[in-house]
A and B are shown apart, each in its own frame.
Chain A
Amino acid sequence: MMKALLKVENLSAHYIVKEGTIKAANNINLEIAENSVTAVVGESASGKSTLIEAITMSLPPNGRISSGKVFYKDNDILKSDYEHLRKIRWTEIAYVPQAAQQSLNPTMKVIDHFVDTVKSHNIKWSNHEIRERASELLKLVRLEPGTVLDSFPNQLSGGMKQRVLIALALLFDPKILILDEPTSALDVITQAHIVKLLKEIKKNRDITIIFITHDIAIAAELADYIVVIYGGHVIEKADTIKIFKEPKHPYTKGLINSIMSILSKDDEPKGIKGDPPSLLNPPPGCKFHPRCQFASEICKKEVPDLIKLDDSSKVACFLYKSAGGDVDE
């Protein structure tokens, strides 16, 4: 693995609600290599967005980070003051959140979103230069700059808005591009378009991409690494090829099997039985144990650590022993 650009250590975050706390990200450990593409997968409400929001310090008002560190270029982002954070946002780390349909200001033209972003970062581009740059980026995402730049958001379709956001995210050539479900809520053709676009961006730029998806096929197509989230825990992380050939965690196995069976048009898809865990009152031990056919006594009591295996993939399951016997790294 190349040098880690982003390193997440023991990160936990929760939401405060009337009924108690929703433990949506628990003791997360992750390393993101420079210029790699990582897909974060998992069923909905498993804590994918929460993880990204915690990393980028953009949790909603009732979200709290309870512990952990996030190192970007050896600085702990979580400890930085607001002004420092504001400065690295977008110039170094660009994050396009989920539900991007309402992410543009309805009272502002598209071009003004570019202008505001440039001015806020004290970059000395003239309005003309900003327009040039914006046009170049819009062309990259296959939008017609002449019409789109002077449109208001409501004049654009969902797919166009999503592409505007991606163009906006590339404004300062960020080191890290984070996309939360960039293709969901779009029609199939637009989806394919965005996947293709991301492939081009990946090929042509020095950029580290992290994207969330619940479409494992898209993950397979784009990602170098796949991180699987279940019940607010990272339960597996491995090379894309390895994870498809040889999934380790029983949940990942179920996930891969279920799409393989769709692909092979098997008569009965082998979906995973049972319901996803409640994050308000999560089960003790391994969050997957109520649905796991291999569950043993220890699984019901203790949370398995994420351990590194001989083939350098990582898994959090008691069925595996770590390489050389040491836990994690």
Chain B
Amino acid sequence: MKFILNRLIYLLFVLFIAISGIFFLINKMPGDPAYGLAVSISQQRNMDINKALEIAHQMMGIDTGEPLFIRYVKFLNQFIRGNIGYSTYYQTTVNEIVAKSLPWTLLVVFISILISFIIGVYLGAFSAQKRGRAVDISISFVSSIIQAIPPFVLAVLILFVGAIKLRIIPLGGAYPVDMEPSLSMDFIISVIKHAIGPIVAISIPQIAVWTLAMRGNTPQIMEEDYIRFAMIRGVKDSTIARKYIRNNAILPLVASLAIAFGYMLGGNTLVESIFNYPGIGFYFGKAIALRDYGLLTGLFSLIVVGVIIATFLAEIIYSLIDPRVKVK
């Protein structure tokens, strides 16, 4: 309990530092936060850019005369209340954007991690069992190449082949525009069809990552006394492989699982953008492209909070499943 409490205090501290860091980083970035909006206003209205800037400042509620520190306090105050900002481009709160985009990202990330973890653990354990043989060498060789492929490259490939050549997956979106979200079979199938591209693009390198991690963990486990003692007891090889080796080699990976989950919340910007998939990453990409500072700050903070909380959970999980951590 004390361990968890300690970590919790530490967590709050880290969160505070991170969010402050993000605020200052974005607000100190070269360029005027309202510039993007001003450009579009000036183009639409055929207006002088300086005039447009003024209007943009008013629209965003930026008082250019207001000191940075006051803006920071306001931002923190709003953030603590759960208002993570205002998007100038979409002209709505960031919370609203998160509410409609986060479920899609969670769907894709959750399924990708599940699939890649299960396949990776099996492949890695299998490979480790055949250590040094041709299958093992091929698996680890192929995995080390695949894990280095950026998901966005796969995304382009999948989109090109799947949507343009074969026309088996849709070009974008999370579901067809003419469909009303419901729990009908049709809707679910079309959601899966739309998600499959991003899922495959993200999963393939992830499978390789888990395979290598599992394969790397296993030899160390095989030297443990309890493996030897199981052999001495005449326990069957298949049981040893499953309950003694695999289950113990997975332990350290469970912690990485939580961390991977956190990173993936925002890490798939390019993949979501390529598939036009309206998740967090997609809007993050938009925020950068459109210089929508409010959206950028809000989403960036959300992602960082996600990573930090995931890391925290990983530590807790690890201490629960491996009592030796607590002792330290």
Contacts and interface: CB of A to CB of B under 8 A. Distances in A.
Contact of B233 (A102, A108, A117, A154): A117
Q: Interface extent on A, as a size class?
A: 20 to 34
Main secondary structure of the interface of A (DSSP, over half): helix
B230 A121 contact: no
B110 interface: no
Nearest to A154: B323
A168 B232 CA distance: 12
Given A97-B229, A105-B226, A154-B324, A121 B244 contact: no
Contact of A97 (B225, B234, B321): B225
Interface string A115-132: 011011100000000000
B129 interface: no
B232 A89 contact: yes
A70 to B, nearest CB: 15
A95 interface: yes
B234 A105 contact: no
Contacts of B324: 154
B203 to A, nearest CB: 27
Given A106-B248, A107-B251, A117 B226 contact: no
B235 A102 contact: no
B239 A120 contact: yes
B51 interface: no
Of the candidates A94, A101, A108, the one having the most CB atoms from chain B within 10 angstroms of its own CB is A108
A196 interface: no
A21 B249 CA distance: 32
A261 to B, nearest CB: 36
A58 B233 contact: no
A99 interface: yes
A15 interface: no
Contacts of B248: 105-107
B81 interface: no
Interface of B: 224-226, 228-236, 239, 243-244, 247-248, 251, 321-324
Given A90-B234, A100-B225, A119-B236, 20 more contacts: A58-B228, A58-B231, A86-B234, A89-B231, A90-B232, A90-B233, A97-B229, A99-B225, A103-B225, A105-B226, A105-B230, A105-B244, A105-B248, A106-B248, A107-B243, A108-B243, A112-B243, A116-B239, A152-B323, A154-B323
